[in-house]
Amino acid sequence: MERNSFKGWLYLIPAFAFLGVFMVYPLFDVFVYSFEEGYNSASQTFFGVGLYNYSYVLHDPYFLQAIKNTLILVAITVPLSTGIALLISVGLNSIQKFRDFFQTVFFLPYVTNTLAVGLVFMILFKKTAYTDGLINIIIQFFGGNSIDWIDGPYWAKMFVLCFYTVWIVMPFKILILTSALASVNQDYYNAARVDGTSRWRIFKEITLPMISPMIFYLIITGFIGAFKAYSDAVAIFGTSLNSAGMNTIVGYIYDMLYGDSGGYPSYASSAAIILFIIVLTITTINLLASRRNQS
């Protein structure tokens, strides 16, 4: 027994070493940097220790804008994408013909390159010297005024970003939910049918509770994913996210490290720790809610 457990630890060493060097140590380091004022990674020097970095970041209008953008993105896209994915999955589950075909169609965005999708959205939404973009042409066809989706009002830009995000995260959710639905034993539905249960009641009182663990999984990972959004915004608005007013928290961290205004690892570390605290809080709440729901 003693020997075996020694062996067990021995086998775990490579994984532990790898995770320790590339995950745990950087995490710890970021935490340390976030308290070191004016840290310079080249000279490994800093002026002092304190909460100044946090104070700076929390008073930076760009960071506050990034938080606002991220929160709006999370609040809109997570419920919307999960809800629509659920509707589509239930629909897919109830059809026989063309099921595989539609499943493939819905899964395509998942395997398509983010930037390629960004290009398509450009064609749909971007105003250029030659065209107002496909969406504007449609709006004009119905007698509306064209809107500058990419460089125009804040709500229009936010709409495009949310639309894009929902569209890009949906395939994975549909994949998970269709397999969850398919794994519900057909006998439950037969039993409900024999009792004359309406479709709505079957969905609400049998299907939903049966797949609720998967829904919670998608909501939790959805929240985490949306808080870490960055590439989506870049794909649509380019790399100057601060000037476009569409930066996200992760975008802000990146800019602080490498962007035009970059070279401030201390500020970036503080912003990263703030993001970490937000995600941790939301995930804890989610987990508690799902646990209460399950028991």
Partner 1 sequence: MKVVLENLTKTFPNRKKGLPDVTAVDNFSFEIPDGQLIGLLGPSGCGKSTTLNLICGLIQPTSGKLWFGDDDVTYLPPEVRGVGMVFQNYALYPHLTVEKNIMFPLGNLKGAEKLSKQEMKDRALEAAKLVQIENLMERKPSELSGGQQQRVAIARALVKLPRVLLLDEPLSNLDARLRLQTREEIRRIQQETKITTIFVTHDQEEAMSISDMIVVMAAGIIQQIGKPQDVYDNPVNLFVSKFLGTPPINVFEGTVKNETLYINNEKVLHVGGVEDKDVWVGIRPEGFVLKDDGALSCDLVTVEVMGRDISVVSTHPATVNASIRSIISSENHDTITGTKVRFDVKPSKVHLFDKETEERIYYK
Q: Of the two residues 44 and 186, which places its CB atom closer to partner 1 in the complex?
A: 186
Q: Of the two residues 100 and 187, which places its CB atom closer to partner 1 in the complex?
A: 187
Smallest distance, Å, CB 188 to partner 1?
5
Q: Of the two residues 134 and 191, which places its CB atom closer to partner 1 in the complex?
A: 191
Q: Of the two residues 140 and 190, which places its CB atom closer to partner 1 in the complex?
A: 190
Instruction: Kindly state whether residue 94 participates in binding partner 1, applying the rule CB under 8 A.
Output: no
Distance CA 93, CA 72 (A): 31
Name the residue type at position 225.
G
Distance CA 160, CA 151 (A): 11
Smallest distance, Å, CB 198 to partner 1?
7
Tell me which of 190, 240, 243, 284 binds partner 1, using CB under 8 A.
Answer: 190
Residue with tokens 């496909």: 134
Distance CA 167, CA 164 (A): 5
Smallest distance, Å, CB 262 to partner 1?
51
DSSP letters, 127-172, are --SS---HHHHHHHHTTPPP--TTTS-HHHHHHHHHHHHHHHHHHH
Instruction: Kindly state whether residue 29 participates in binding partner 1, applying the rule CB under 8 A.
Output: no
Q: Of the two residues 5 and 198, which places its CB atom closer to partner 1 in the complex?
A: 198
Nearest to 57 by CA among 279, 267, 246: 267
Number of residues that bind partner 1 (CB under 8 A): 17
Instruction: Kindly state whether residue 96 participates in binding partner 1, applying the rule CB under 8 A.
Output: no
Smallest distance, Å, CB 197 to partner 1?
5
Instruction: Kindly state whether residue 72 participates in binding partner 1, applying the rule CB under 8 A.
Output: no
Instruction: Kindly state whether residue 292 participates in binding partner 1, applying the rule CB under 8 A.
Output: no
The 3-state DSSP class for residue 178 equals helix
Q: Of the two residues 7 and 201, which places its CB atom closer to partner 1 in the complex?
A: 201
Smallest distance, Å, CB 212 to partner 1?
8
The region of 59-67, 105-113, 186-194, 242-250 touching partner 1 under the rule CB under 8 A is: 186-194
Helix axes 154-182, 99-111, angle to 10 degrees: 130
Residues 6 or more apart from 182 whose CB is under 8 A from it?
93
Instruction: Give residues 197-236 in contact with partner 1 (rule: CB under 8 A).
Output: 197-198, 201, 205-206, 209-210
Distance CA 223, CA 2 (A): 43
Nearest to 222 by CA among 154, 160, 169, 144: 169
Residues near partner 1 (CB under 8 A)? 185, 187-188, 190-198, 201, 205-206, 209-210
